[in-house]
Amino acid sequence: MTVRLLSIETAVPDTVIRQEDVSRLFAEQPGMTRLGTRVVRSAFAGAGVSTRHTVLPELGTAAAATITGDDAAATGSGGEAAGARGPNEASNGRADDGTTSPHALGRDGAERAGDDAAASPFVDPATRRLRSPGTHARNQLYTEHAKPMFVTAARAALDAAAPGVGLEDVTHVITVSCTGFFAPGPDVRVAKDLGLPADVKRMHLGFMGCNAAFPALQAAYTACRVDPDAVVLVVCVELCTLHLHVRNDTDTIMGNALFADGAAAAVVTARDVAVAGPTLELVDFETTLAPVGEDELAWSVGDEGFEMILGTYVPRIIDDHVTDALAPLLDRAGLSAERIPLWAVHPGGRSILDKVQGRLALTDEQMAPSRGVLADAGNMSSATILFVLERLLRAGDEGTVAALAFGPGLSIESALLRVRPASETA
């Protein structure tokens, strides 16, 4: 039995923020020490990020206000690229490399552009001083923005899987997020707003962190193995910029330099149906907990939003343990890292990608999808690996894919997949 991802679709909010602008904004904040300002500039410059997207247009406005001269005219007044397009998207709605860019979403989750910055607890518009709202205010914004983003991404993935499957075929919905909460949850919102069958099976994976798409995909894979007629909709939405803070500690600064907002969805099934483009066969999964690092990568609820611990030793821990973490997966397939042509590595940061590339002796070409997503869209937590897989699929290469991501614990999730040409069905 072959279980495939028939489609992967991604979406981003329409406000684009440039890394150099946000770096200046945070470095200029009252309360930043001289050392903290230096750390901000160094961390932002070395993060491997060029642009990110946020559901906070006021953050884009404040960041854009740091631009002077020709840069301001080229970027526009709201921190948004002309037309509020996706990363690297040209005026014809396609990326510069010819691939389709992520959908751009307005404040209500619809695909549109041109929102004015609305009043927000995050920014004083007169001074561009960043405020620190409480967790309740941040979660209200999460609820407002995440609900339509879950539905928009899910609908796009189902549209891309047509005519092979339709709304009436969906048997399971699995939603994923670690950046906010509401109930009835995202699984209910997706089912109701899409008009899915009332008896659709639902699951929400919450607060698992950056690698949560893997257990979601594994749950979808298991459901399809149990019921070959199942059609599983997996949707990840993360609004990380709602948890930005102005502080001098390195963990907070690193999080501010990396994290962004985005959504991704996939349709998984073992049905023997044809779709327009290539698909990804799900082959096998593996998970492991590193023996060290539990305190180096963590995520908790604080009084002023969620608190990220992203220790400087995380890249070193991954470097020490990624080979052992992959060994069971590769051994079952009779493969070694050097025999796998395609790689999708969660871009948790440039230093993490550097360590994985060096340890596994991967080429720059093999790391290009991961580094490209990091540069164009930043780290969108659980949604990010689907952005990487989407980019890899649309590049047109074929063969085995090794995918891996890292999360609290320190947990390492991995999977083997196989690109199947459009002409092949299950």
DSSP string, 157-218: HHHHHTTT--GGG--EEEEEESS---SS-HHHHHHHHHT--TT-EEEEEES--TTTHHHHHH
Catalytic annotation, pick one of 178, 210, 224, 236:
210
pLDDT at 422: 79
Question: Is a pLDDT exceeding 60 seen at residue 74?
Answer: no
Look over the chain and give the mean of its residue pLDDT values, rounded to a whole number: 88
Question: Is a pLDDT exceeding 80 seen at residue 270?
Answer: yes
pLDDT at 89: 39
CA distance 30 to 51: 24
User: What are the tens digits of pLDDT across the range 230-267?
Assistant: 999 999 999 999 999 999 999 899 999 999 999 999 99
User: What are the tens digits of pLDDT across the range 312-352?
Assistant: 789 999 999 999 999 999 999 999 999 999 999 999 999 99
CB 383 within 8 A of CB 10: yes
CB 235 within 8 A of CB 199: no
* pTM (predicted TM-score): 0.89
Q: What is the DSSP letter of 332?
A: H
Report residue 411 as tokens.
């947990």
pLDDT at 274: 86
Q: Name residue 25's amino acid.
A: L
pLDDT-based confidence at 90, cuts 50/70/90? very low
3-state secondary structure of 426: coil
Tell me whether residue 224 is one of the annotated catalytic residues: no
Tell me the average pLDDT across 30-43.
Answer: 96
3-state secondary structure of 326: helix
pLDDT at 144: 97
State CA 348 to chain mean position distance: 10
Tell me the average pLDDT across 384-412.
Answer: 95
Nearest to 313 by CA among 385, 390, 254: 254
Query: How many helices and strands (H and E) does the chain possess?
Result: 12, 16
User: What are the tens digits of pLDDT across the range 356-381?
Assistant: 999 999 999 999 999 999 999 999 99
pLDDT at 382: 98
Residue 263: beta bridge partners?
Answer: 11, 237
pLDDT-based confidence at 425, cuts 50/70/90? low
Question: Is a pLDDT exceeding 60 seen at residue 72?
Answer: no
Contacts of 363 (CB under 8 A, 6+ apart): none
CA distance 356 to 204: 30
pLDDT at 97: 40
Report the share of the chain in percent with pLDDT over 90.
77
